[in-house]
């Protein structure tokens, strides 16, 4: 029961944290950039670290899904898909701004 409550709490908090931290993703990228600079990481190392982080996030998401019933899982999946779409939109906007900056130079 305690494990289920913990997983449900996480499932509820993740979307809340994602919404609350909108606009703060820059800080997280800055943190990665600062870490890469401070540790003098190569591009390959940065890629490997990103892959590790993605695997960890996906494993956590799947673990949470295993605790949920069918209705909860459907809602959880829908919220996850919404977050992924928003993330892709932000990524496209960043790439667009970068292309504009590069063309101005």
Residues 73 and 65 sit within 8 Å (Cβ to Cβ): yes
Angle at which helices 43-67 and 25-38 pack, to 10 degrees? Answer: 140
50-102 pLDDT, tens per residue? Answer: 899 889 989 999 999 999 999 999 999 999 999 999 989 998 999 999 888 88
25-62 pLDDT, tens per residue? Answer: 455 667 778 888 899 999 999 899 889 988 998 999 99
Give, rounded to a whole angstrom, the gap between the first and last alpha carbons of the chain. Answer: 59
Give the residue among 66, 87, 65 at the shortest CA–CA distance from 76: 65
pTM of the predicted protein model = 0.56
Domain that holds residue 68: 2-104
Q: Give the total number of structural domains in the chain.
A: 1
């Amino acid at each position: 029961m305690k494990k289920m409550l913990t997983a449900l709490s996480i499932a509820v908090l993740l979307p809340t944290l994602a919404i609350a931290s909108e606009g703060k993703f820059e800080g997280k990228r800055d943190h990665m950039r600062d870490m890469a600079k401070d540790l003098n990481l190569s591009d390959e190392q940065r890629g490997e670290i990103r892959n590790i982080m993605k695997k960890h996030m996906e494993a956590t998401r799947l673990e949470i899904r295993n605790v949920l019933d069918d209705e909860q899982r459907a809602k959880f999946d829908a919220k996850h898909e919404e977050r992924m779409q928003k993330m892709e939109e932000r990524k496209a906007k960043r790439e667009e701004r970068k292309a504009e900056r590069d063309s101005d130079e």
